[in-house]
Structure 1
Amino acid sequence: MRFVKSAGAVVLAAGTLAGCGGSPVQAGSAAIVGDQRITIASLDRDVRDWQRQFRDNEVANALKEQSGGSAGDAVRQALGTLVRLRVADQTARRAGVAVTEGRTDAVIAGFDRQPGGATAITLANGLPARYARDVARFFAIRDLLAARSLPPRVTSAQQVLQARQQAELEINRVAAGMRIEINPRYGTFDRAQGMIGPVTTRLSGTEKGLG
């Protein structure tokens, strides 16, 4: 999956989430990330709310098209984003990075200075508008991680871009060591593409009965 931040062609590659994509998960779960459970019921509700909000938001539609996304993969993108948010939180904890409410507020303010504001950016990332602060927190974590590798005096945008890429790699490394399980009805992690891929095998009776 990709994270969309703005209309200015700033699309963040989420990288490879190299967790245990094919493991059986607890009944009623869409995914398990570490010790956190994403339920099928909550995922279904998120996708329904997103579809209703996204349909009428022209800016979100344009942002999603720019990122190469499709409204047809709504469930996989929503689940992939929810997983990614949790991995970023774990990365921050391991790195000792504290994300204050003020820092998240600053990211939201930056979103709101762009066309469509925080709502459009959140919708373009596959989640309903109520997740705006969660999406902003992801970018706050990414930028705080990136700041640690920047020189005292930043002289070019390329330096910032490279630091952000390093932060993404750090998030990926944490994902690789985490327990990440996806309900097979939603697919498995595509390690090459860094997203939840489509279901490619026939589900057993047990797998069909999850949830």
Structure 2
Amino acid sequence: MVRRRTAVSLAAAALVAMTPVISACGTPHAGAAAVVENETISVSDLQSQVNAVRTAQEKSPQSAALLEGTSKLSQMTLSRLVATRVLDRIAKDAGITVTRSETEQMRKGLESRYGGADGFLQTFGVAPSGADAFSRLQVEAAKIIVGLRLEPGSDGGNTALSQLIAKTAKTMKIDVNPRYGTWDARTGQLGDTKEPWLVPVAEAPVQGA
């Protein structure tokens, strides 16, 4: 069986209120899976990440279950890539940066918690080659919560971050290729994907933040 997250993901709460501008008739740039402001997420780059995950899954003893559990992998991956750029904007505006050492620390912590590189694959649908980028995202989210003194509340800052992401996303032009669905403001995902893209804040501590 594929290990599932038992805690509520930050993503589910953080993106539920997002209402970015979505193109109804296609992206403005050929070959784009999505365009966030003027930055293109190309179909080829997206497919490269998806292929890396599929290749790793096929090598796993649990390949059948992994493949079945990530049938919407393209949407899940694109959702994470788009959301990452919204968080990047928030961090830039707040003067928040992420160092290589912080990323490495986070990756080691997550690998320890979730069972190594294979744990990334099983739990988050992230190939070994994407572990650093995924870990950097976790550091950035945690530092935003701490650095901007977002109200932690009972959910560790999830609701406050959700409101900030929604506010920021409304100021950004986000176009998604209809091939991958449209942004669902109720779930903060593309189409009907349900996979979260951030670990719970309590599971992603950042020293010195």
- TM-score for both structures, normalised by structure 2: 0.73
Answer 1 or 2: higher relative contact order, Cα 8 Å, separation at least 6.
2
Q: State the Cα RMSD in Å.
A: 3.1
1:129-176 per-position Cα deviation (integer Å, ceiling 9, x unaligned): 21211111111111111213279xxxxxx7573324423432332222
Matched residue, 1:111: 110
Q: CA shift at 1:185, angstroms?
A: 1.2
Q: Are 2:111 and 2:117, in contact at CA under 8 Å, matched by a contact in 1? A: yes
Matched residue, 2:49: 46
Distance 1:129 1:51, change over 3 A: same
Q: CA shift at 1:183, angstroms?
A: 0.7
Q: Distance in 1 between matches of 2:63 and 2:166?
A: 26
Q: Distance in 1 between matches of 2:58 and 2:8?
A: 22
Matched residue, 1:132: 131
Alignment of 1:1-211 (within 5 A): 9=7, 11-12=9-10, 13=12, 14-16=14-16, 17-23=18-24, 24-25=26-27, 26-57=29-60, 70-121=69-120, 124-148=123-147, 149=149, 159=153, 161-197=155-191
Distance 1:119 1:141, change over 3 A: farther
Q: Tell me the secondary structure at the aligned position of residue 142 of structure 2.
A: helix
Q: Distance in 1 between matches of 2:153 and 2:166?
A: 20
How much identity, in percent, do the aligned residues show?
26
Q: CA shift at 1:110, angstroms?
A: 0.9
**Which amino acid in 2 is paired with 1:177?**
T
Q: CA shift at 1:50, angstroms?
A: 0.9
Q: CA shift at 1:41, angstroms?
A: 1.4
Q: Which structure has the larger Rg?
A: 1
Distance 1:115 1:193, change over 3 A: closer
List alignment gaps of at least 5 residues for structure 2: 193-209
Distance 1:184 1:8, change over 3 A: closer
Q: Distance in 2 between matches of 1:196 and 1:85?
A: 14
Q: CA shift at 1:59, angstroms?
A: 8.4
How many residues align structurally?
183
Q: Tell me the secondary structure at the aligned position of residue 72 of structure 1.
A: coil
Q: Distance in 1 between matches of 2:69 and 2:36?
A: 25
Q: Are 1:119 and 1:132, in contact at CA under 8 Å, matched by a contact in 2? A: no
List alignment gaps of at least 5 residues for structure 1: 1-5, 152-157, 199-211
Distance 1:60 1:100, change over 3 A: farther
> Quick check: 133-142 or 50-59, which moved more?
50-59
